[in-house]
Structure 1
Amino acid sequence: MELIKELPEVFEEFAEQRQKSFMAMKGLKEQGVPVVGAYCTYFPAEIARAMGAVTVGLCSVSDETIPDAEKDLPKNLCPLIKSSYGFAKTDKCPFFYFSDVVVGETTCDGKKKMYEYMSDFKDVFVMELPNTQSEMALQLWKSELIRFKKYLEKKFDVEITDEAVSEAVKEENKVRKAMKELYHVMTLDPAPIKGGDLFKVLYGSGFKFDRKAIPAEIEAMREKIEKEYEEGKRLDKMPRILITGCPIGGATEKVIRAVEDNGGVVVAFENCNGAKSFDKLVDEENPDVYDALARRYLNIGCSVMTPNPNRLDLLDRLIDEFKVDGVVEMTLQACHTYNVESLSIRKFVNEKKGIPYINVETDYSQADIGQLNTRIAAFIEML
């Protein structure tokens, strides 16, 4: 089969979006636009956007600043935390530099402590994320969203109306719908494109500040992929892989490459910047916009939640919908929440879904690429 020829430049544009956004952000700051930086999928971006702020994901996916972080933090800490802190401390992340406030959340112990240290040199607002998804937890999380709103109002001397939040909700829901429809093309068998190319779009879209423009761009890309697929431009048939586990991007994209360089195709990403981010919409019919936001964000299935049925629910649907042949879980060294939960994911995938599973534990160095290739090649060969 002929591979897609015309699309790569579109994927590359999204891959380069992060770099382009550095300059765009400088322009926004010069116009006096507030910037709110964050690290986590639980961050309720709509509240910040309702006051006209730009929201951005902060640098956390490279080993470049880890030696600087290790002067303050333990060496055997998760690389994502060390990278985040290192970029912040050295001011090597333009997004961090331009952020007026960084929003943290009480997900894991390492991050909680990192935010304490970070607040010595940056305005940090930490949201109390419950570690369960009960009705009581929902009330706490809703009150945190309102506390965040009040903090922004006071800090920036603005009023954030419910109408403005509702507008931001509608806008972001459109982005989620478009993204969901885009990655849905991977349900086609054989796959229309490589998972690595799809990932460039999923990851890069987070750095496009004009949220209103995203749905049309994504829609056009999806239509192009589907049209070219009908014309016979598609990949050969190969084992279909779902990647789950810790947040992926930057240094850890080596796991995607290890799958696709060894005869597999990644058809689904369950990670934070994959399906997890776009799966659920905020209920626009709910008259209480903070209740609607609290429900949508609290229901994200992350390993910090105990118990964590929503992650299994999403995996269950993705495995069926995308006709998955095998699951690769990528966990980061010293990420205890995901590493401990990998046992229940393995059991679920093997016993409930009846398909093979492999866990690869890694960090941000490139030293284990050979080993990753060997293990993943053997896994794909077995499929």
Structure 2
Amino acid sequence: MEVIKELPEVFEEFAEQRKNSFLAMKQLKDKGIPVVGAYCTYFPKEIATAMGAATVGLCSTSDETITEAEKDLPKNLCPLIKSSYGFAKADKCPFFYFSDVVVGETTCDGKKKMYEYMSEFKDVFLMELPNTQSEEALKLWKSEIIRFKEYLEKKFEVTITEDDIRKAIHEENKVRKSLKRFYEVMKHDPAPITGMDQFKVLYGSGFKFDRTAIPAEVDGIVEKIEREYAEGKMLNKRPRILLTGCPVGGASEKVIKAIEENGGVVVTYENCSGAKSIDKLVDEENPDVYDALARRYIDIGCSVMTPNPNRLELLDRLIDEYKVDGVVEMTLQACHTYNVETLGIRRFVNEKKGIPYINVETDYSQADIGQLNTRITAFLEML
């Protein structure tokens, strides 16, 4: 069997998308197009795109600015928060620099307090995210989405109509459908591509500002993968891994590398940059656009929700659909909600699904790569 040879340039283009987008972002600003930056999968981007704004993800995944952040923030805080704040404070993130407003959300205590400090040097709009998925919580979240719309209207002196929002919902649903078709190629066994190449497209797509162009581009990649798979181009048979836990990207890609360089293949991602953010569409038949958006976003199965059945429901489906042999959970140090939830995930994977599970706790340094390789190699050999 042969590994795909002709697609890497496409995957690299997506991998470089974040860097390439720095220039594209400046061009947008020169044209007077508003830019809205955000840090979380709960961000209802359709409201911003409905007014013609570009949206961009600001989460930073490098330890480059953590020392700067630790001048203000505790050392024993989650590296994602410290990195995000450090890049903002040190002005080392072009996306943050060009954002007219940054949208935060009350997901965890660390981020909530970090946004307070960030608001001292940037316009920050904080959305009050409930920590449950009850009907009462839905009412609050819907009112927050409406409050966000009204904030944008006032700040940018525009009117955002419900028709504008419907159009934005339709366009973003098309993007989700295409990305879902793309990650579903990994249902093939053996896998057609590596999980790292799959991740490059999923992560890189968030930095393409012309959302309407994404479906055709991604559909073209899917067609090429399927055609080459039919011709026999695929990976050798490997243990099939589901990666779950904290957001992956940048420095934490070391976990994907540890899995794939030691004989496994990541066939599906349950975390924020994977299925969690793409799996469900906004209901376009719902006459109330704010209710439709509120229901879709509040249903995301993040560990900040109590209880969190939607994460287990998604894990359940992914393990079956992708014929998963083992689950690797990556948690970041001091990410309390995900670290506490590892017990429930381990029980679910071991007892309900009957497959092996391992949790690796890490940060954004490269100091633990040797240990990561040792632990993951032993886990893969057990499979």
Instruction: Please tell me the TM-score bracket, short chain as reference.
Output: over 0.9
Contact kept? 1:145, 1:294, Cα under 8 Å = yes
1:174 maps to what in 2?
174
Residues 278-289 of structure 1 correspond to what in structure 2 (within 5 A)?
278-289=278-289
**Separation in structure 2 between the aligned mates of residue 27 and residue 238 of structure 1, nearest angstrom:** 44
**Separation in structure 2 between the aligned mates of residue 335 and residue 3 of structure 1, nearest angstrom:** 37
2:363 maps to what in 1?
363
- Length, aligned pairs only: 383
Query: Aligned to 2:164, what secondary structure does the other structure show?
Result: helix
**Separation in structure 2 between the aligned mates of residue 365 and residue 145 of structure 1, nearest angstrom:** 36
1:90 maps to what in 2?
90
Deviation, 1:27, is: 0.5
Deviation, 1:59, is: 4.2
- 2:329 is the counterpart of 1:329: yes
| Aligned AA (1:75) | K
**Separation in structure 1 between the aligned mates of residue 163 and residue 357 of structure 2, nearest angstrom:** 46
**Separation in structure 2 between the aligned mates of residue 2 and residue 331 of structure 1, nearest angstrom:** 33
Deviation, 1:368, is: 0.3
2:235 maps to what in 1?
235
Residues 1-383 of structure 1 correspond to what in structure 2 (within 5 A)?
1-383=1-383
Q: Structure 1 stretches (4+) deviating beyond 4 angstroms?
A: none
**Separation in structure 2 between the aligned mates of residue 37 and residue 183 of structure 1, nearest angstrom:** 25
Query: Aligned to 1:103, what secondary structure does the other structure show?
Result: strand
Query: Aligned to 2:359, what secondary structure does the other structure show?
Result: strand
| Aligned AA (1:377) | T
| Aligned AA (1:30) | D
* Structure 1 residues 239-287: Cα deviation after superposition (integer angstroms, max 9, x where no partner): 0000000000000000000000001000000000100010000000000
Contact kept? 1:59, 1:96, Cα under 8 Å = no
Structure 2 spans left out of the alignment, 5+ residues: none
Query: Aligned to 2:37, what secondary structure does the other structure show?
Result: strand
Contact kept? 1:185, 1:222, Cα under 8 Å = yes
Deviation, 1:2, is: 1.1
Structure 1 spans left out of the alignment, 5+ residues: none
* Structure 1 residues 282-335: Cα deviation after superposition (integer angstroms, max 9, x where no partner): 000000000000000000000000000000000000000000000000000000
| Aligned AA (2:69) | A
Calculate percent identity across the aligned residue pairs. 81
**Separation in structure 1 between the aligned mates of residue 57 and residue 214 of structure 2, nearest angstrom:** 16
**Separation in structure 1 between the aligned mates of residue 41 and residue 318 of structure 2, nearest angstrom:** 19
**Separation in structure 2 between the aligned mates of residue 364 and residue 381 of structure 1, nearest angstrom:** 26
**Separation in structure 2 between the aligned mates of residue 59 and residue 12 of structure 1, nearest angstrom:** 21
**Separation in structure 1 between the aligned mates of residue 9 and residue 59 of structure 2, nearest angstrom:** 24
**Separation in structure 2 between the aligned mates of residue 178 and residue 198 of structure 1, nearest angstrom:** 13
**Separation in structure 1 between the aligned mates of residue 82 and residue 12 of structure 2, nearest angstrom:** 28
| Aligned AA (2:150) | K
Query: Aligned to 2:354, what secondary structure does the other structure show?
Result: coil
Contact kept? 2:59, 2:80, Cα under 8 Å = no
| Aligned AA (2:119) | S
